[in-house]
Amino acid sequence: MSRKPVHLAVYDTLADWETGHATAYLARAGYEIRTVGPGREPVTSIGGLRIQPSCALDDVRPQDSALLILPGADLWDTSADLAPFARKARAFLDAGVPVAAICGATAGLAREGLLDDRDHTGAVSFYLAATGYAGGERYVDADAVSDRGLITAGPTEPVAFAREIFRLLGVYEGEVLDAWYRLFHDSDAQAYAVLEKAAAR
């Protein structure tokens, strides 16, 4: 079955560790991962990785995508450079295409007003409150939250972030999803048996 690609936003200072679980296992499930930069110029992550974007943000259309992933980055809090990515997230959600945001990207979405009427989480409640957004009452103290096509998570929860992405896209379900999470979050060796059994089907 042909799947639409998943678009991963990339920009200077992006947090390398936050999306690796999600993109690796989405790729294993048959999704093409396309990196989306502000333009087509290379960007550099917090960890010093130099990334050549597959495409520019202006060229990405929601109807051509299965999901937009927005990782954290220092730039979310130090400038307005990444605001166009938050506006693109609005276009995705308005078109019924899901968005997943982690760490600083949640603050960018808060500034865009996308968390005002959705349950969400982030690093901590007062971090998002500092944006001046109107969604404080919808903040949930959880590892990751999914509400009406928008997934949010804090910077210490890349595995829970991936879990919610897999659940939303139907990559893993039920006991297999639970086993995947227990394996990578809790180092539960017993979860291997469930995953091996599922792979053999």
Looking at the annotation, which residues are catalytic?
103
Alpha-carbon span 169 to 166, nearest angstrom: 5
H helical segments located in the chain: 20-28, 75-78, 83-94, 104-111, 125-129, 158-169, 174-186, 191-199
Pull the structure tokens for residue 99.
């968005």
Q: Please report how many Cα atoms fall inside a 13 Å half-sphere around the Cα of residue 59, on the Cβ side.
A: 12
∠ CA(96), CA(79), CA(86), 5° rounding? 0
